[in-house]
Each structure stands twice: as C-alpha cells, then as structure tokens.
C-alpha cells in the first residue's frame, strides 16, 4: 500500500472513530504498523502524542468490533495481544515513551459476555510510576499501577472466575519489574486486581512483584496450569543487598506451585519443561 493510501485510510478511520466493515483487517494492520513505526522513530513528544492518539482511536474501534476475539494482528511487534485459553478475556496493551515527561501505559481489557450481550471493554491508561507496586492490597481501575501483560491463564476458585496475569513494568528508570497479578471482576462488573493467594516467607500476598536492574533480564513464565517458574534474583555484590537496581538472575530458578488452594513459593526448582 502506498503512503498516500495509508494516510487516506487513516483519515477515514479517524473521521468515523471506528473500523468500518468495508476496511479490511489487512488495511487496518498496515495503518497500525505505519503508526507504531512512526511512534518509535519520532523524537518529538508532541508528535508522539498525536500519533498515539491515532493509534488509540483505531484500537478503540477494533476493541468494539465483532471479530476482536477471533482476529489477531500478526505484524505489530510493539502491540501486546493476548487471549485467554478460555476465550473469555482479551488484553491489548502498549506503552508510549516520552522524552520530557513520564511515559504512559495503555491497556484494553475486553471481556466476553456469556449471555450474547455486547463485550465489556475496560480502557486503562496511566503514567509511568517509579513507586513500588504493593503486594498487600487490591488495586482497581482508578489506581492501576500500569504494566504490559504478556501471558495469562484462567482459573475458577470458590465458583468465581479469575485470571492470573504475567506482566512487566518499565516505569522506573533504574529498576524493571515482573509481576504476577490476579484479575477478576466484582459483582458490579468493576475490575479487581489482586487476590490474597501467594504464600511466600510466612506471608500471603495479593500479587508478587520482582524488582531487578533495568539492564538485566528476568524470565517469568507458566510452566503448567499449576506452576509459575522464574529466575532467582540476587544482588550483583554482597554490598548491594537490598538495593534492587543492582539485582539480577543467578541462573537458578524458583516457582509458585498451586497446592491446596494457594500458590506456594518453592526455592530452587528444576525449570526444564515437564
């Protein structure tokens, strides 16, 4: 598709505010690819914000489309798209990096209704926050800490459906965070982040958060429906104990295993696939 055609299509999409049926998913994907490329290559904050506004308008229409649970963009490396194995929840997320002010996270939680009603859409956006993500409290839509979620699994506990999410947070300049989160919905259909479910060191946490140096890499993944495995983090030197910006993996692994209604921490596990 020629650049002029891309911009013409973008004008149509922005004018209507939705992805019209006559515009193909392929064309929409090309427009988004162009916009995300411009978002990465442009160094002017005001231009980045305008480009991101265009992305939000297109994805807002996409989130409300009939095909959001059956379609996936295949060429957008900067857009997170995950669908739960039960096909009842889809998460679309991305982040906006800015030079002169904190960046922002954008996230759509799209919840399929079992009664044939329209999907419920939750639009979350928040600026980067250098503060710690708490492990002893519940968060909601209004005080969401912000993260990019990259995997999830569904569970039913006490006849209530919830999803365990794995995410990453780049909101601190010196510390990266990996997060194990629990998402559910209240009887009033409000988003609830957190469940007192993770047993570690005598405490039971609402989520677990792993902090480490921004120039290090940490793995956090589901090994099975009942196991979450991750790198064990240690300080680079003994003198840096407790200073999370100097932590990284030591090539051993820990895990949360689901046992007797709790996710229980186990230190030093065999991380090979079973």
pLDDT at 224 over 60: yes
Residue 105 pLDDT: 98
Comparing 191 with 26, which gets the higher pLDDT?
191
Residue 163 maps to a domain? yes
Residue 86 maps to a domain? no
Residue 171 maps to a domain? yes
Residue 25 pLDDT: 60
Q: For 251-272, what is the mean pLDDT?
A: 92
Comparing 13 with 125, which gets the higher pLDDT?
125
What are the DSSP calls for 8-22, one per residue? HHHHHHHHHSS--TT
pLDDT at 215 over 70: yes
Residue 5 maps to a domain? no
CB 28 within 8 A of CB 20: no
Task: Find the domain containing 254 and state its range.
Answer: 131-274
Query: What is the total count of domains within the chain?
Result: 1
When pLDDT is cut at 50, 70 and 90, the band that residue 201 belongs to is confident
Residue 216 maps to a domain? yes
Residue 7 maps to a domain? no
Residue 237 maps to a domain? yes
Residue 43 pLDDT: 84
Residue 271 pLDDT: 74
Q: For 234-248, what is the mean pLDDT?
A: 93
Q: pLDDT tens digits for 14-25?
A: 444 444 444 456
pLDDT at 178 over 70: yes
Residue 15 pLDDT: 46
Q: For 255-259, what is the mean pLDDT?
A: 96
What are the DSSP calls for the chain, one per residue? --HHHHHHHHHHHHHHSS--TTS-HHHHHHHHHHHHHHHHH---HHHHHHHHHHHHHHHHHHHTSTTTTT---SS-TTSEEEE-TTSSEEEEEEEE--SSS--EEEEEEEE--TTSPPPEEEEEEEE---SPPPSSS-B-STT----EEEEEEEEEETTEEEEEEEEEE--SSSEEEEEEEEEEE-TT--EEE--S-EEETTEEESSEEEEEETTS---EEEEETTEEEEEEEEESSGGGTT-GGGEEEEEEEEEEEEETTEEEEESS---S--
Residue 93 pLDDT: 98
Residue 112 maps to a domain? no
Q: pLDDT tens digits for 25-72?
A: 667 888 999 999 999 888 899 999 999 999 999 999 999 998 999 999
Q: For 7-14, what is the mean pLDDT?
A: 48
- Report d(CA 76, CA 80) in Å as an integer: 8
């Amino acid at each position: 598709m020629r650049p002029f055609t891309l911009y013409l299509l973008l004008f149509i999409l922005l004018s209507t505010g939705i992805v019209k049926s006559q515009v193909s998913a392929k064309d929409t994907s090309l427009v988004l690819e162009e916009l995300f490329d411009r978002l990465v290559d442009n160094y002017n904050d005001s231009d980045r914000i305008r480009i991101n506004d265009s992305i939000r308008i297109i994805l807002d229409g996409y989130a409300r489309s009939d095909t959001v649970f059956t379609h996936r963009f295949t060429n957008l490396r900067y857009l997170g798209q995950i669908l739960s194995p039960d096909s009842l929840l889809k998460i679309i997320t991305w982040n906006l990096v800015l030079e002169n002010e904190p960046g922002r996270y954008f996230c759509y939680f799209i919840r399929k209704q079992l009664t044939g009603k329209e999907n419920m859409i939750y639009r979350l956006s928040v600026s980067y926050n250098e503060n710690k993500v708490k492990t002893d409290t519940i968060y909601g839509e209004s005080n969401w800490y912000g993260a990019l979620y990259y995997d999830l699994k569904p569970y039913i506990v006490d006849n209530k459906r919830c999803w365990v999410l794995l995410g990453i947070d780049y909101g601190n300049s010196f510390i990266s965070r990996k997060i194990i989160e629990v998402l559910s919905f209240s009887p009033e259909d409000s988003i609830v982040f957190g469940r007192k479910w993770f047993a570690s060191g005598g405490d039971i946490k609402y989520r677990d958060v792993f902090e480490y140096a921004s120039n290090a890499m940490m793995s956090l993944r589901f090994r099975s429906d009942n196991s979450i495995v991750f790198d064990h983090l240690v300080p680079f030197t003994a003198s840096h104990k407790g200073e999370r910006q100097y932590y990284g993996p030591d090539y051993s692994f820990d895990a949360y295993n689901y046992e007797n209604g709790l996710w229980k921490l186990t230190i030093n596990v065999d991380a090979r696939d079973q």
